[in-house]
Structure 1
Amino acid sequence: MSKQPLDLSTALAGFDAIWSPRIVANINDYDVRIAKVAGEHVWHVHRDTDEFFLVLDGELDIAVREEDGERVVTLPKGSLFVVPRGVFHKPSSKEGASIMVVEPSGTLSVGDEHDEVPGHVDVTTGHPL
């Protein structure tokens, strides 16, 4: 990681792949990842960690399965949401979005358990920027 400031707009302009996060920083044992997203991800769960989402541009929907059923959390630009550990969730974006995700280093983008992974979703622990 660089010891210089990082412009997120420039970093996002450096790749086109959707659902393929890039690691932009490390904080202790956590990765700060950015990603471009469009369409649907996959239902998945992180059994042992929360997942932090921040929308940098566009709008992100996160469907969550809770004890009383499913609901969708809509995050416009500048909004954040934390999916608690153990909660199945499915991010999506109809028009596309740029997001930041913070989670422990090595965490798979499709969690510990997931539905069948569609071809447009990169199963990764994050790529170097």
Structure 2
Amino acid sequence: MEKINISEKFSLFSETWTPKIIAESNGQLVKIAKGEGELVWHSHENEDELFIVFKGKLTLMLRDRSVTLLPGELFVVPKGVEHCPVAEENTHFMMIEPASTAHTGTVVSEQTVGLNKQSRI
């Protein structure tokens, strides 16, 4: 395994809400994505989802509150908790989650990326 330059990886794509796998460790995938606007309300029945922001502002709307993350901040959405990510323009973030985690849980929308369509960069 070679070292990974995260900033360089972000420069390789422009699409939003389309996670890119950059590493794997012990069954956990390390993914990066860019966000803008709102994704969809969804949950992950069996998996926690960790978000770390590198650039911009990501708000994780939960049914009982919202958590806003700025660069250098992280939050774990516990399994089973419904959430809706909302990002300001040009937000860059990382997710660390089990390989079994479906992009938008059981919710399927035009933004959903299937497990077999998530690309590695």
- Normalised to the residue count of structure 2, the TM-score between the two structures is 0.92
* Percent identity for Structure 1 against Structure 2: 38
Question: Counterparts in 2 of 1:45-124, with a 5 A limit?
Answer: 45-65=43-63, 70-111=64-105, 113-114=106-107, 117=109, 119=110, 121-124=111-114
Richer in strand (by share): 1
Deviations along 1:25-78, one digit per CA (max 9) or x if unpaired, are 00111100000111100000100011000001111000012xxxx311000111
Alpha-carbon separation, structure 1, partners of 2:33 and 2:67: 19
Per the alignment, in what secondary structure is the counterpart of residue 57 of structure 2? strand
What is the aligned-residue RMSD (CA, Å)? 1.2
Contact 2:56 2:88 in 1 (8 A): no
Cα distance, 1:123 vs. partner? 1.9
Alpha-carbon separation, structure 2, partners of 1:122 and 1:85: 19
Contact 2:35 2:88 in 1 (8 A): no
Per the alignment, in what secondary structure is the counterpart of residue 4 of structure 1? coil
Contact 1:24 1:32 in 2 (8 A): yes
Contact 1:39 1:96 in 2 (8 A): no
Contact 1:20 1:124 in 2 (8 A): no
Runs of at least 4 residues of structure 1 off by over 4 A? none
Alpha-carbon separation, structure 2, partners of 1:98 and 1:34: 7
Tell me the number of residue pairs that the alignment of Structure 1 and Structure 2 aligns.
119
Cα distance, 1:94 vs. partner? 2.5
Give ranges in structure 2 of 5+ residues lacking alignment.
none
Contact 1:42 1:110 in 2 (8 A): yes
- Normalised to the residue count of structure 1, the TM-score between the two structures is 0.87
Per the alignment, in what secondary structure is the counterpart of residue 97 of structure 2? strand
